[in-house]
Amino acid sequence: MKKLVLILLALMALPCLARTVPAVGSVDGTILHTIQTKWQIADTTTSAGDEPTALAVTERTKLLVDAAITAASSGDAEISTFTLPSEWNSIRLRAVGITDGGTRTDQIYFGTLGGNLDCELTHAGQLAWVIGTQQSIYDQITFTLGGTYVPKPGDVVTGVTSGETAVVVSTVLSSGAWADADAAGTVTYKSASGTFTSSELISVVDYLGVTDPNIYVHAASDLVDFELADTVVVTAGAWGSVWTATSPAANTNAEAEIDIKGADFMVIVTTTSSVDSKLLIKGY
């Protein structure tokens, strides 16, 4: 009887244990359907001022990078860190810049924190981007008076006055707080249907179809256009992963792809940038 009770308790615990495992997709017969994540912004860099230099071997730990960012000397304030979700096995990277014909060079480092406060970093490679001349689908605009809901990648926004729509890629907070309804900063969009009206209220529809009306206010009517890079040259580092680079013709979207081999922490050091630019990331 005791054995039977123990077996029943173990079977009852299985669903709880299963819920602790991150979802990676679904299986339909013999076909694995992986989760589709949205493009996010991993780094934002300006062309003004000094750019940081590549990390020396003696600087390649998370805590040392954090200290360098805080000290903000010699351009180190523009170093970015990005936490890689546990369900990501590989990543794709793209670059966008404000103007045509610009360039951007990124040094990419990976580490595995595994729940710890520090980890070693390995140089995975250098990505040299050339911004193309294709028509932009990415735009940035300043906002004020943010409400209690923080717009997330994939949310659809609508101008209450103009009726124009766009899809959120990321938001950057520069002052205030969403909870206090005085958040201010910038939001990056894609697929804007037209020009928003200056100082109009913005409503947001999230991925569940829930509408949050009058969520924040655009501070200006003109969006800042970002052009996608259409070429990238990869110089692989000593790390064991192999990069796949795509630099298609006809002004389409260049990207670099790599198996992150279980890494959960990434550092982006943009050593050159001739224009204000961003690095986009998508995991799978």
CATH architecture of 40-134+227-283: Sandwich (2.60)
pLDDT in tens, 119-149: 999 999 999 999 988 777 888 899 988 878 8
pLDDT in tens, 249-261: 666 789 999 999 9
Q: What is the pLDDT of residue 266?
A: 98
Instruction: Answer for the pair 39, 280: CB distance below 8 angstroms, yes or no.
Output: yes
Instruction: Answer for the pair 203, 214: CB distance below 8 angstroms, yes or no.
Output: yes
**Range list of β-strands (E), 191-264:** 201-205, 211-218, 224-236, 243-246, 255-259
Domain with CATH 2.60.120 in the chain: 40-134+227-283
For domain 138-225, give the CATH number: 2.40.30
pLDDT in tens, 58-69: 999 999 999 999
Please tell me whether residue 204 adopts helix, strand or coil conformation: strand
Instruction: Answer for the pair 280, 94: CB distance below 8 angstroms, yes or no.
Output: yes
**Range list of β-strands (E), 71-133:** 80-83, 90-97, 103-111, 122-131
Domain with CATH 2.40.30 in the chain: 138-225
Question: Which regions in the chain score pLDDT beneath 70?
Answer: 1-35, 221-222, 249-251
**Range list of β-strands (E), 132-251:** 138-146, 156-159, 165-175, 183-190, 201-205, 211-218, 224-236, 243-246
Q: How far is CA 229 from CA 115, 133, 171, in A?
A: 35, 8, 21
- Encoded tokens for 125: 């490679």
pLDDT in tens, 142-175: 998 887 888 999 999 999 999 999 999 988 889 9
For residue 269, what is the enclosing H or E element?
strand 265-273
